[in-house]
Amino acid sequence: MKINVEQFYTKYGPMVLRRCRSLLNNEEQALDAMQEVFVKVLQKSDVLDDRAPSSLLYTIATNICLNELRKNKGRFVNDGNEMLEMVAGIENHEELVITGHFLDQLFENEKDTTRTMAVLHYVDGYTLEQTADMMEMSVSGVRKRLRGLRERGLAFKED
């Protein structure tokens, strides 16, 4: 069944925008990302499943925002939010850089969906079951991927 994008936009647009805002911390980028979510839905409306629209849109928004963050890595613009002040106030800049480098190495050879799972489960606090529903995977599949990610992270940390 073809998705009614206009209806989705009206009903779920605010939820998608909140998600984009929370990940990007930039109003203009969040608005652009929200529009990109619905453009993607419009382009794929014939093949997407409309049975769980909020999960579908939430996952698409998360992926688009993570891609945007990855694309803009290393570029920070002071847009009036408190992020620059927060970073400037961090006492241990070396630890911040090392953590960023560690995460870059950890996710370098991972599928984008693994990064999305990690954000949903570890950052957003979703259960394995909720994460599996959003990713349209089995709980055991999500658990296996996150366990493997954790093990590789511990191996990197020990090196």
Cβ atoms of residues 117 and 139 within 8 Å = no
Q: Does domain 1-88 have CATH number 1.10.287?
A: no
pTM of the model: 0.58
* Per-residue model confidence (pLDDT) at position 15: 94
Q: What is the pLDDT along the chain (159 residues), one digit of tens a residue?
A: 577 888 889 999 999 999 999 888 889 999 999 999 999 988 887 777 777 788 888 888 988 888 888 777 655 444 443 433 343 344 454 455 556 666 777 778 888 888 888 888 888 888 999 999 888 899 999 999 999 888 888 886 666
Position 115 scores a pLDDT of 86
* 62 close to 116: Cβ distance less than 8 angstroms: yes
Residue-level pLDDT at 17: 94
Structural domain boundaries in the chain = 1-88, 90-159
The secondary structure of the chain as a DSSP string is: ----HHHHHHHHHHHHHHHHHHHH--HHHHHHHHHHHHHHHHHTTTTS--SSHHHHHHHHHHHHHHHHHHHTTT-----SSSHHHHHHT-S-HHHHHHHHHHHHHHHTTS-HHHHHHHIIIIIS---HHHHHHHHTS-HHHHHHHHHHHHHHHHHHHH-
CATH topology of domain 90-159: Arc Repressor Mutant, subunit A (1.10.10)
Residue 101 is predicted with a pLDDT of: 60
Q: What is the pLDDT of residue 1?
A: 57
